[in-house]
Structure 1
């Protein structure tokens, strides 16, 4: 069988081939609708490229690449203000401000590409890297010099297979794990989850629910999201800027575009206290998985009402009720997510710097500057 593959780069969702979604069926985050959302509302320092892989004239693979200009950020995150963090930020601005991703830096998980079963993995990976390098050349013609080439996220199985290709020489890295909650088939409601908890964590659940008295949870429509857009962004930005590191900030219209295009596949829940919106979380239905997305909250009320923990319990309750098999809680807040039953899944990435000297020392730089997260894995179940 002739496995010779070619690729085409698209810069608008409208230009994608007709059968795009047939190939992208494994995840909503590679489908035409989601790419249209990115096109309309991606972060101001991001440019998206959509990759089609062809065998002769048949579409057999799809992928996403993103270019980030970190010079356009006013902040990489304000939580950690130590000397090491300030040095890291300076070096990023000076030597690694232009980053080209194969994959989606806005998500955690295997959302970079999808290949038809007929495509050998090694051949598919090879053409994906060729496509990414072509985008690098396109950027050069626009006077933009890419510093850092990054590919994410790969499972342990994928990384093992990549290690058998010529790309094994590229620096492989891991960061915080993807926290995934698996829902047993016999659970039908929230009480089944509560009953499965050990006494310590059942008490935690009861305490959090008690603290949440006075909060009103409400599913917001597109009109509601648009009406509260400024406040929603303020709540999101408060959480985002206090992260240990940020490479982008969402645009203000991102949530409204998600709701406009994905409709019932995008859920936006607002939390109100004394008739004022004080927090929100978002969910995206992705086949049999429920993907948690961005959230925001008022820090003072969050602490007082244990809002974040209650949001996690609400996500679990909804996903059980709607018969989802897994909940993807992504990175960050690892210990609290572990305490409600999520398990860590190690994911991998590849990284190379265009400067050969920096690239040689890249593993050392990464280990030194990567924010360390010390956490203890919990098992809340009996």
Structure 2
């Protein structure tokens, strides 16, 4: 469809219009400071662009694009070794190694765009599609052809407007759900959360806390993160490489850059045994929502001390004590997150392959490539 909305592509946060943050709708992941984090410490195989939508000279929409070159990855994850995984990896390398996301592949949730509520959303989505074509042309000039374009992550009702805006040849897909922990407004402390658990899960909580004895948890500041950067990266890489599927690996300076630019909105907690860092987790304050971010741990200590489960409890405790409304636990480890009270929220995306013949079969191909996860949903509350 035709639209009067134009677009402009920016490569640096410094070049963004002065009123950029006013369009972010309170989402930290679309603000200038966060986009500067991506600019200065994105994964080695990721290139970010920032999209401004304009009506005449007025900024009416903002969006993020991420280009991933999967050829730069040594592997997509080393946990699952089977024929299906080998075939999947070959297909990705051969037919889908250059992927353009309109959205944020490092997070779960609608962190793709934000529009001025006064503009026509269908026209804005149409303008965003045109902007994605302009981004592809930028890469074409660099001799890089985008194989797959995808817009992510949306609730079911948020996908309805795309079809009207000219996305009919995009396939709507869903993968693992977003695990969201909703905090009861009556809870004022961690003890209120514990009291709400059924006996079975209260016993699980007590057992995990008992196992964690001897571990010291510390809030780490910028100078601490820099001092432990090598160890932090090793712990992160251990978890990342053992994931079933990866499309990027963080840069070594990612966490220190995040802390320097986002300051108190980015929380970094280290877990120590006799002054040795054996694990860490990170949180991002996003309005009244707490987003969990990347973590890392020594696997031998993790099993013995139930470290991952204790990290989940710690994240919940902090968020309850500080008055947040929900915790975004994102994808992966669905069952254990369910066991602490997180619930699955289905998220959808749109995907298109540049080859029309492949695109016609994208539904079957996608179904084959997407790693399946069998899990049982838990309800830990009374």
- TM-score (norm: length of structure 2): 0.98
The answer on whether the counterparts of 2:46 and 2:68 sit within 8 Å (CA) in structure 1 is yes
In structure 1, distance between residues paired with 2:331 and 2:192:
26
Q: What is the aligned partner in structure 2 of residue 224 from structure 1?
A: 224
Query: Post-superposition shift, 1:357?
Result: 1.6
Secondary structure of the corresponding residue to residue 379 of structure 2: coil
The answer on whether the counterparts of 1:46 and 1:66 sit within 8 Å (CA) in structure 2 is yes
Query: Aligned ranges for residues 260-271 of structure 1 at < 5 Å?
Result: 260-271=260-271
In structure 1, distance between residues paired with 2:160 and 2:204:
39
Q: What is the aligned partner in structure 2 of residue 114 from structure 1?
A: 114
The answer on whether the counterparts of 1:339 and 1:378 sit within 8 Å (CA) in structure 2 is yes
In structure 1, distance between residues paired with 2:287 and 2:376:
31
In structure 2, distance between residues paired with 1:203 and 1:301:
21
Query: Aligned ranges for residues 181-220 of structure 1 at < 5 Å?
Result: 181-220=181-220
Q: What is the aligned partner in structure 2 of residue 143 from structure 1?
A: 143
Q: What is the aligned partner in structure 2 of residue 47 from structure 1?
A: 47
Query: Post-superposition shift, 1:160?
Result: 2.5
* Residue-by-residue CA offset, 1:223-263 (whole Å, 9 max, x unaligned): 00000000000000000011111110000000000000110
* Residue-by-residue CA offset, 1:155-177 (whole Å, 9 max, x unaligned): 11111232444313311100000
In structure 2, distance between residues paired with 1:327 and 1:112:
19
* Residue-by-residue CA offset, 1:195-239 (whole Å, 9 max, x unaligned): 000011001000000000000000001000000000000000000
Query: Aligned ranges for residues 85-96 of structure 1 at < 5 Å?
Result: 85-96=85-96
In structure 1, distance between residues paired with 2:58 and 2:78:
47
Secondary structure of the corresponding residue to residue 64 of structure 2: strand
Query: Post-superposition shift, 1:11?
Result: 0.2
* Residue-by-residue CA offset, 1:235-293 (whole Å, 9 max, x unaligned): 00000011111110000000000000110000000000122000000000000100000
In structure 2, distance between residues paired with 1:133 and 1:59:
19
The answer on whether the counterparts of 1:270 and 1:280 sit within 8 Å (CA) in structure 2 is yes
* Residue-by-residue CA offset, 1:27-59 (whole Å, 9 max, x unaligned): 100000001111100011110000001111111
Q: What is the aligned partner in structure 1 of residue 275 from structure 2?
A: 275
1:339 aligns with 2:339: yes
The answer on whether the counterparts of 1:54 and 1:60 sit within 8 Å (CA) in structure 2 is yes
Q: 1:3 to 1:352 in 2, by over 3 A?
A: closer
The answer on whether the counterparts of 1:26 and 1:114 sit within 8 Å (CA) in structure 2 is no
* Residue-by-residue CA offset, 1:43-80 (whole Å, 9 max, x unaligned): 11110000001111111110000111100000100011
In structure 2, distance between residues paired with 1:35 and 1:232:
23
Unaligned runs of 5+ in 2: none
Query: Post-superposition shift, 1:123?
Result: 1.1
The answer on whether the counterparts of 1:279 and 1:298 sit within 8 Å (CA) in structure 2 is yes
- TM-score (norm: length of structure 1): 0.98
Q: What is the aligned partner in structure 2 of residue 11 from structure 1?
A: 11
In structure 2, distance between residues paired with 1:136 and 1:100:
8
The answer on whether the counterparts of 2:339 and 2:380 sit within 8 Å (CA) in structure 1 is yes
Q: What is the aligned partner in structure 1 of residue 159 from structure 2?
A: 159
Query: Post-superposition shift, 1:359?
Result: 1.1
Unaligned runs of 5+ in 1: none
1:324 aligns with 2:315: no
- Deviating above 2 A after TM superposition, structure 1's stretches of 4 or more consecutive aligned residues are 160-166
The answer on whether the counterparts of 1:49 and 1:66 sit within 8 Å (CA) in structure 2 is yes
In structure 2, distance between residues paired with 1:366 and 1:242:
22
In structure 1, distance between residues paired with 2:243 and 2:164:
36
Q: What is the aligned partner in structure 2 of residue 97 from structure 1?
A: 97
Greater shift in the superposed pair: 21-30 or 189-198:
21-30
Query: Post-superposition shift, 1:3?
Result: 6.9
In structure 1, distance between residues paired with 2:13 and 2:165:
31
In structure 2, distance between residues paired with 1:369 and 1:137:
27
* Residue-by-residue CA offset, 1:107-129 (whole Å, 9 max, x unaligned): 10010000111122211111111
Query: Aligned ranges for residues 346-357 of structure 1 at < 5 Å?
Result: 346-357=346-357
In structure 2, distance between residues paired with 1:270 and 1:97:
35
The answer on whether the counterparts of 2:3 and 2:126 sit within 8 Å (CA) in structure 1 is no
RMSD across aligned C-alpha pairs, in angstroms? 1.1
